[in-house]
Structure 1
Amino acid sequence: MDSHTVPQFITEDYLRQHFGMRQGGEIQLEPGTRFTPAAQQLLNERQITVRWRDEKGQVFVETAHSANQQHGCAQSTRLEKVHPLKSNNVRPSNGCMLCGSGVADKPALMTHLDDQVLVPKTHPRITLRGKLDSCISYCVLVQCEMRHQPELLQGFMADIRSYLGQILQAEVTGQALPEPMLGEFSSDTVHQWSHNPLKHLGHDHMLPDVIYGELVAQLNYLRALVRELELVATQVFIDHSMQLSSGGIDRNDIVAGLNRLSSAVYVVMILAWQCQNGQDSVLGGLAHGTA
């Protein structure tokens, strides 16, 4: 989200512009922020968790507790401080993947694969997480460069950033990963746009070229980073004991999700170029679902 004054009441349009509204996602706002009924309904429908972040960067979640009242117990909520990168304050255990024993002091050459197991930092899944970290960081830089682009494109970029975080969450926790969306548009729809952009978006395929300018170049580099992530994920999760023709891929959801995400970035790249050249009528069509 941009570093600007957040309105006291968050609207549905504000949520769509500044946050990724993926199913089961998470957003962070200042404590005391309230939502319009339509915004609250959107959060409920998408099952999006709201975490609260104060001016010191401390993160809080709402927890339910029972309060004694004159005529019995009433349920209310309060804010509980949690680790900024987690949803709880549980300290991970240090079980070594190599020897199976507990480790009193975590060595510098090892890190947590999850809350239970330590692995060497050369573990393939740790390499994948490092690539994800770099990709997320660059995605945020691109978001900063797009602050003056149309709201629809800003919302699309928020969806892309949110999905990268969801990939990391799914890889760490083992949760299933759905396919990405751009706003209300499904992965299949975005995939069709990317394969025939002239038909659906009014501009043909683009190759890297200085004539398109800095923003398009940044978006294209982000697309390339996502493609690189897809290749790394394939290397990490492929089952070499099976024939490739049999589809021996563990976590095919992550590999497939990255494949579709690169298409989404490519679509945003084409739309950004059109907007820079005053050919943004296609955005109006997308906003009204007529693309």
Structure 2
Amino acid sequence: MRVLTEEALRVEFKKDIPEKYIVNEDLIVTPAARQYLKEKNVEFIVKRENTEKEDECKEDEFEFKEIRIPEGKITPKYISYYSGGAFEQKPEYMTHLFGNKLVYKDDPRIIFRGKLDSLQSEILELQHLSYVKDVEKLSMELQEVLEYVREILRCEVLSEEYSREKLFGLTEGELRDMSHFPKKYFGVGHILPHYKMDEIMLKLNSLRSSSREVELAAVKAFKKENGIERVDIIKALNRLSSGIYILMCKYKAGEYR
């Protein structure tokens, strides 16, 4: 059974991107391949075996849904995202990218998801510390940070656009301005971390640096030969580190007392 993957299309389109791409209906086309065709504005056409006519796919067929298998065909239990090869059992060294598509556990996308998972753990630990130390307002704002990160992960896994525009009610421009000019907004200068800071401030700083690591992991995961995919996620992560730095400035300014 033949499977058309995003990687195969990238190789095929390396020299020239066609206006139309025609496949037989017995070819399995992965969701990533469909999305890639859509991004390149390539008209995707399925040639039906029982007619002479070429039927154009509907727009919603590009969505990340279960792959449509022609009648009488057997759906492989697992499929390699890289080669399209089928597996009866999931190898221990592979994991799900989406659906039944498997990648190596050190695939950049999986590493990125792991970084997001670790970031959530750090947020929860700091939330608990803030709660124990009776800094409830910070705990609540960290909850918003947690939901922000969880939404990034959900959108990445489901291949949805990240559309959340604000954090703490602040726009991208406001987050950037406040993080660049803390003296203007909070009456404190830029923070240079040191060992005499209290535990909450040190953990906020760790959270900020971890968010930067997640952003770098995202760039590595979505960097392709012809540019960067998922700019929406990378942009959201850039806003996140600014937001966490603002929490540091607010804490230093005594706004949580």
Give the structure-2-normalised TM-score: 0.65
Question: 2:199 maps to what in 1?
Answer: 214
State whether structure 2 residue 178 is matched by structure 1 residue 174: no
Cα deviation, 1:43-66, whole Å, max 9, x if unaligned, reads xxxxxxxxxxxxxxxxxxxxxxxx
Is 1:135 equivalent to 2:114 in the alignment?
Answer: no
Q: Which amino acid aligns with 1:205?
A: H
Cα-Cα RMSD: 2.1
Aligned residue for 1:267?
A: 246
Task: Point out where structure 1 has 5 or more consecutive residues left out of the alignment.
Answer: 1-91, 243-247, 285-291
Q: 1:185 to 1:260 in 2, by over 3 A?
A: same
Counterpart of 1:51 in structure 2 is none
1:65 corresponds in structure 2 to none
Q: Show the counterpart of 1:252.
A: 231
Unaligned runs of 5+ in 2: 1-75
Q: What CA deviation, in whole Å up to 9, does each residue of 1:181-219 have, x standing for no partner?
A: 333233322221111011011111101112221110100
**1:249–1:126 Cα change, 3 Å:** same
Counterparts of 1:179 and 1:204 in 2: how far apart (Å)? 29
Query: Could you tell me whether the CA contact under 8 Å between 2:95 and 2:104 is conserved in 1?
Result: yes
Residue 101 of structure 1 corresponds to 85
- Asked if 2 retains the 8 angstrom alpha-carbon contact of 1:190 and 1:263, the reply is yes
Q: 1:179 to 1:209 in 2, by over 3 A?
A: farther
1:116 correspondence with 2:116:
no
CA distance in 1, matches of 2:164, 2:184: 23
Distance 1:116 1:195, change over 3 A: same
SS in 2 for 1:146: helix
Percent sequence identity over aligned pairs: 34
- For the 8 Å contact 2:193–2:205, the answer to whether it is kept is yes
Structure 2 vs 1, CA of residues 99 and 190 (structure 1 numbering), >3 Å: closer, same or farther?
A: closer
* Paired residue type of 2:154: Q
Name whichever of 177-186 and 154-163 sits farther off: 177-186
8 Å contact kept, 2:188–2:252:
no
TM-score between both structures, scaled by the size of structure 1: 0.58
- The number of aligned residues is 181
Judging changes above 3 Å, is the alpha-carbon distance between structure 1 residues 165 and 231 closer, same or farther for their aligned structure 2 residues? same
SS of the residue aligned with 1:210? coil
Between structure 1 and structure 2, the one with the greater Rg is: 2
Q: Describe how 1:8-19 pairs up with structure 2 within 5 A.
A: none
